[in-house]
Structure 1
Amino acid sequence: METIFGNLQGLKPSQIKQLQRLYHQRLPGDRLTTPEFAQRLAAVSTEIGQPVCAYINRRGQVIRVGVGTLRQTQIPPQELPRYGAERLSGIRCVATKFKPEPPSSAALTAMALQRLDALVLLVMTGEGFERRGGGATGYIREAYLAHLIPHPEANWTVSQPLSLDRVSQQDFLELTEGLESEFRREFVAQQVEVDHDRALLVGVMTDNLSAQQFQAGLEELARLVETVGGDVVQVLSQKRAHPHPQTVVGEGKVQEIALAAQTVGANLIVFDRDLSPAQVRNLEAQIGVRVVDRTEVILDIFAQRAQTGAGKLQVELAQLEYTMPRLTGRGRDMSRLGGGIGTRGPGETKLETERRAIQRRIARLQQEVNQLQAHRARLRQRRQHRDVPSVAVVGYTNAGKSTLLNALTNAEVYTADQLFATLDPTSRRLVVTDAETQEPVELVLTDTVGFIHDLPPSLVDAFRATLEEVTEADALLHLVDLSHPAWQSQIRSVMKILSEMPITPGPALLVFNKIDQVDGDTLALAQSEFPQALFISAGDRLGLGTLRQRLLQLVHYAVSMNAEMGELPASDSPAQQSRRSYDFP
């Protein structure tokens, strides 16, 4: 029996049968509608007192009948043909409306989201009326014809009120072929490399965020997407007191996102926050485009950048722990191995296996990470037995840590103006001549993975073997990119992460980098806020001599503090301990 969609409450069985009989109608392939079909649709609509929508394919077959508005009866994205931005869906809609007015924006948006060939809106009188000269009873006052257009400033066009005869005489094949030809030319003109995701970013500004923090977060998300190889084609945002529990943003914004994604040809939606598995499923069902969150983008960057066996091991563990609760309903997406952001990496071949097998894999990887921890602990003990003090270079991602390591030690660590260019810790020997005693002093300088605000918990857990290089170091060099607009927020983010580590890191030296790229006002502000800090340019090798001497003072201070004070009082909170570590003069 044919299914009737939409609002069926209160309908009589006889009325439902009238709706079901619409499925048996057949329209000419070259006509939008016929007067007979339109009048019959209007008669049924008048009988039940509600709008009715009939969806018709290009063979003239009625494939869907719904009671309600176009938005209430629209075809779900997953059930629509996926032809791409250069094609229409091959489905048109003939709908009824009681008020004598053009299609609403909601109806036009629904038309665009379904990429309908056309929308014929029949405006009715509300009841049958006698035509001039008597004769058959008619139900239609006028009609509107709407369809999509490939125009940068408009998504659709709507005709003036037309007579039913004029709409019925419209050459449907000529209309659709012409439109698809225009869409094809526009698509070719905008086409990008097929291996690039075209990403639409979505930000949600809640009450706990300032406008500056929100904007900085969106800009950082754009950098993350570009780092992983995607192209940001549009950014949308919404201000809410709290994220919507089901879709993060409101229903209207979801429709706006779906329409914008179709308009700009986006094949990926990226949210600026973590999404629950249910939220991802709900959004994908309504938008019809793959949806990922900030954590998934970061994981994808790590999957691309991991070079060593240890790095790949930790990335795979993080991916599996993140993906485990998101397996339900993602079978189709996860089968596209290497198919874009969030679908590649060491762990992707495990994603379609049974949950129990994935759990066994996670347990095995955790054992290997524990072994990695033990191995690195032995290396640190060996250095400690040689009485070689160690300094870990920490800081926000892309602060210039690897560039500084290369400049100080003549290492050849990979550097790039990219987020998370370094994943694996790299230790190099640094010999500094003490300016007072003229004696050479050997240090071990360790480059570490960059931090980022709201560092995903799965990464923190998986990379604990790497992060222990920070907690086990005698002292820290906290490098800050002073040229970044949000440098103050980045300092707070790094200190927050350090304060939450299970073992309190040693004393830290705050060093501002890239001073060659900042103006005098920014430099003066940083000097007034952090008078004990050092200012350098690792790229131009400015201030490195002073930095070497301050590093000597730092490790001497750290060693003496450990010898005289022992462990910090257990009553101190991690945050207090972290703040105290910045008291190094």
Structure 2
Amino acid sequence: MPIETIFGNLQGLKPSQLKQLRRLYHQRIPGDRITTPEFAQRLAAVSTEINKPVCAYLNRRGQVIRVGVGTPRQTQIPLMELPRYGAERLSGIRCIATQLKPEASSDAALTSMALQRLDALVVMNVTASGFKKRGGAASGYVKEAYLAHLTPQDSRILTATQGGGNISTSDYSPPSWSISPPMSLDMLGKQDFMDLVEGLEEEFRREYTALDVDSDHERVLIVGIMTGDLSSQEFQDTLAEIARLVDTAGGDVVQMLQQKRNRVHPQTVVGEGKVQEIALAAQTLGANLVVFDRDLSPAQVRNLEAQIGVRVVDRTEVILDIFAQRAQSGAGKLQVELAQLEYMLPRLTGRGQAMSRLGGGIGTRGPGETKLETERRAIQRRITRLQKEVNQLQAHRERLRQRRQNQGVPTVSIVGYTNAGKSTLLNALTNAEVYTADQLFATLDPTTRRLTVPHAVSGDRQEILLTDTVGFIHELPASLVDAFRATLEEVTEADALVHLVDLSHAAWLNQVRSVREILKQMPVTPGPAIVVFNKIDQANSETLALAREEFPMAVFISADKRLGLENLRQRLGQLINYAVSSQ
């Protein structure tokens, strides 16, 4: 981009006027001054000449780096082009703006300052001097000026959002700023700019340090959209789950914002005002990642990132990231990579002209394909190869299952919502040493162990094979279902299922429904299942009573405390007898 590009509304400007605007790039201000009377008057003269407001953006060396025609809001620097120093720093850029007529509200200019984290914003009221230059145009002079800058937030506002995972949705407060009384250019010129900026950044650093921020973790802003028939409680449960997913992925949730809409906005999911609020919150709280509680289209991600200025991801991408961290076996890593590539492929489009050799100009014409097409082709080849490997894995597991069936050993798979305690139950029943943690998707690879249970008829002991499987989640991403089909077949091919439910979870009933919905969508109908309520030691009496009423045939246990396991063994023997006799 040429260094003397003029931004904003250039309609109706003459070549001579554009030349005057470009000359502003050759001006320089002493580094310790906000502006000088000479530069301010020159800006006022140009603004009066074209009869439009003008904004000049300067760096800390006093160089003009951007000239725009329009208000600070209309000429602001795109957020993706601004330096990202974090919440403890300002952007290193100030804006000197002219204003030809008093505005009813300065909120738009101040919001623009906050979005860009400008060092300072100077708004100058310009009026015609009455003196006419050659050609008849009146020159302009600065009647008065106002100086505005950001002020640090009270750290209590920020730390209120970080309390053991209990994230509030209403603690966000818009950024605060300080606006000076009207002053003359001489008074403005005497302000020590570097002293002002260094003092502000020192205050920002103190407030930021008070948050005890772990720089190794991403600071995440979560956005939830409530649409359709979702109840308020279900929506809050959804927000709590996405916060837990972010925490499991290694991010720190600094704030949640939400909006209720009849339908999502096709370009930005949320409305224009909410997008601006998200951008302000990200700047104010130092967030470097925005996570939406639903899947986003590639175009929506691009639009949001351009307007918010930080990376934007959706729920599926967070889950894929967790899976990538959790995968241990070769099979698990294979399936995760396949899911990630299938997710990435449709999102390659629109990554900018840098991806294309067909944009026009010297060196771009002639035979060949775009860089985008080359990358897409490479990813498609990798996907094809991975799918073949998944098919081989599928065939291998099918042979193992067939061998077990030939041995006449019944199989039972433990299914359930993620973090229901499936691995803990397998360990408690079989003395296995499967990794367990109070985290979502702690287990990706299925583990099978032998278990002895009473025979339902003879009372003798019989062996069964008990398999721990990957956890389910509400609206399980289709890419994961496809990639993990080899693993999920452990569920569909089992003789019977243990549907494990975390009874201590506030949304346990919705989790039951989600798991049943996923099981219904399986290509092969799974075998008979019993519902087993886990973590009864952490559930209250009202929840226990409701569960017994809704599920009278269920088994109640605590895998961690080893409560009710003998009763579960008895019921497993009955379940296997029923499953085998029904085949």
- List alignment gaps of at least 5 residues for structure 2: 132-137, 158-174, 356-371
**d(CA) in 1 for partners of 2:352, 2:18:** 36
**d(CA) in 2 for partners of 1:352, 1:432:** 57
CA RMSD of aligned residues (A): 2.4
Q: Is the 8 A contact 1:198 1:230 kept in 2?
A: yes
Query: Structure 1 residues 52, 208: CA separation in 2 closer, same or farther (over 3 Å shift)?
Result: farther
Look up the match of 1:498.
519
**d(CA) in 2 for partners of 1:63, 1:97:** 20
Look up the match of 1:93.
95
Q: Tell me which of 359, 370, 377 is aligned to 2:391.
A: 370
Aligned pairs for 1:94-493 within 5 A: 94-100=96-102, 104-125=106-127, 127-128=128-129, 139-152=141-154, 154-190=175-211, 192-328=213-349, 354-434=375-455, 437-493=458-514
**d(CA) in 1 for partners of 2:536, 2:198:** 59
CA displacement 1:220-241 (0-9 Å, x = unmatched): 1111111121111111111222
CA displacement 1:336-395 (0-9 Å, x = unmatched): xxxxxxxxxxxxxxx998322221111111111111111111111111112211111100
Look up the match of 2:58.
56
**d(CA) in 1 for partners of 2:141, 2:317:** 54
Query: Structure 1 residues 331, 551: CA separation in 2 closer, same or farther (over 3 Å shift)?
Result: farther
**d(CA) in 1 for partners of 2:183, 2:227:** 47
Higher mean C-alpha deviation, range 444-453 or range 257-266: 257-266
How far is the alpha carbon of 1:102 from its aligned partner?
8.2
Higher RCO (CA < 8 A, seq sep 6+): 2
2:459 counterpart letter in structure 1: Q
**3-state secondary structure, aligned to 1:354:** helix
**d(CA) in 2 for partners of 1:397, 1:414:** 14
Look up the match of 1:20.
22
Determine whether 1:36 maps to 2:38.
Answer: yes
Q: Is the 8 A contact 1:100 1:124 kept in 2?
A: no
Query: Structure 1 residues 9, 330: CA separation in 2 closer, same or farther (over 3 Å shift)?
Result: closer
Query: Structure 1 residues 331, 45: CA separation in 2 closer, same or farther (over 3 Å shift)?
Result: closer
Query: Structure 1 residues 138, 323: CA separation in 2 closer, same or farther (over 3 Å shift)?
Result: closer
Look up the match of 2:161.
none
Query: Structure 1 residues 362, 533: CA separation in 2 closer, same or farther (over 3 Å shift)?
Result: same
**3-state secondary structure, aligned to 2:259:** strand
1:357 counterpart letter in structure 2: A
CA displacement 1:493-526 (0-9 Å, x = unmatched): 1111111111111111111111111111111111
- List alignment gaps of at least 5 residues for structure 1: 131-135, 335-350, 563-585
Report the count of equivalent residues: 540
Give aligned-pair identity as a percent: 76
Q: Is the 8 A contact 2:49 2:139 kept in 1?
A: no
**d(CA) in 1 for partners of 2:211, 2:228:** 38
Q: TM-score, normalised by structure 1?
A: 0.87
How far is the alpha carbon of 1:447 from its aligned partner?
0.8
**3-state secondary structure, aligned to 1:249:** coil
How far is the alpha carbon of 1:197 from its aligned partner?
1.2
Determine whether 1:9 maps to 2:30.
Answer: no
Q: Is the 8 A contact 1:39 1:140 kept in 2?
A: yes
CA displacement 1:92-131 (0-9 Å, x = unmatched): 1111224435862221121122221110011234x4358x
Higher mean C-alpha deviation, range 165-174 or range 230-239: 165-174
**d(CA) in 1 for partners of 2:303, 2:139:** 45
Q: Is the 8 A contact 2:48 2:140 kept in 1?
A: no
Q: Is the 8 A contact 2:151 2:176 kept in 1?
A: yes
**d(CA) in 2 for partners of 1:520, 1:70:** 59
**d(CA) in 2 for partners of 1:48, 1:101:** 19
**d(CA) in 2 for partners of 1:54, 1:254:** 26
1:7 counterpart letter in structure 2: N
1:239 counterpart letter in structure 2: K
Higher mean C-alpha deviation, range 426-435 or range 66-75: 426-435
Q: Is the 8 A contact 1:52 1:65 kept in 2?
A: yes
2:403 counterpart letter in structure 1: R
CA displacement 1:263-295 (0-9 Å, x = unmatched): 112111111111222222222222221221111
2:114 counterpart letter in structure 1: A
How far is the alpha carbon of 1:23 from its aligned partner?
2.4
Look up the match of 2:362.
none
Query: Structure 1 residues 276, 226: CA separation in 2 closer, same or farther (over 3 Å shift)?
Result: same
Q: Is the 8 A contact 1:155 1:263 kept in 2?
A: no
Query: Structure 1 residues 10, 207: CA separation in 2 closer, same or farther (over 3 Å shift)?
Result: farther
How far is the alpha carbon of 1:450 from its aligned partner?
0.3
Higher mean C-alpha deviation, range 199-208 or range 434-443: 434-443
2:145 counterpart letter in structure 1: A
**d(CA) in 2 for partners of 1:52, 1:488:** 59
How far is the alpha carbon of 1:17 from its aligned partner?
3.0
1:429 counterpart letter in structure 2: R
Q: Is the 8 A contact 1:103 1:144 kept in 2?
A: no
**d(CA) in 2 for partners of 1:488, 1:216:** 11
1:455 counterpart letter in structure 2: L
How far is the alpha carbon of 1:83 from its aligned partner?
3.3
**3-state secondary structure, aligned to 2:448:** strand
Higher mean C-alpha deviation, range 169-178 or range 365-374: 169-178
**d(CA) in 2 for partners of 1:435, 1:473:** 19
**3-state secondary structure, aligned to 1:27:** coil
1:544 counterpart letter in structure 2: L
Look up the match of 1:573.
none
**d(CA) in 1 for partners of 2:525, 2:552:** 24
2:45 counterpart letter in structure 1: A
**d(CA) in 2 for partners of 1:494, 1:387:** 29
Higher mean C-alpha deviation, range 16-25 or range 380-389: 16-25
Higher mean C-alpha deviation, range 390-399 or range 290-299: 290-299
Query: Structure 1 residues 407, 148: CA separation in 2 closer, same or farther (over 3 Å shift)?
Result: same
2:526 counterpart letter in structure 1: P
**3-state secondary structure, aligned to 1:151:** coil
Q: Is the 8 A contact 1:149 1:155 kept in 2?
A: yes
How far is the alpha carbon of 1:45 from its aligned partner?
2.6
**d(CA) in 2 for partners of 1:137, 1:317:** 66
Q: Is the 8 A contact 2:456 2:573 kept in 1?
A: no
**3-state secondary structure, aligned to 2:532:** strand
How far is the alpha carbon of 1:544 from its aligned partner?
1.5
**d(CA) in 1 for partners of 2:434, 2:573:** 23
Look up the match of 1:348.
none
How far is the alpha carbon of 1:61 from its aligned partner?
2.3
Query: Structure 1 residues 44, 331: CA separation in 2 closer, same or farther (over 3 Å shift)?
Result: closer
**3-state secondary structure, aligned to 2:145:** strand
How far is the alpha carbon of 1:173 from its aligned partner?
2.2
**d(CA) in 1 for partners of 2:578, 2:425:** 22
**d(CA) in 2 for partners of 1:38, 1:55:** 12
Query: Structure 1 residues 268, 186: CA separation in 2 closer, same or farther (over 3 Å shift)?
Result: same
How far is the alpha carbon of 1:28 from its aligned partner?
2.8
How far is the alpha carbon of 1:137 from its aligned partner?
6.7
Q: Is the 8 A contact 1:199 1:230 kept in 2?
A: yes
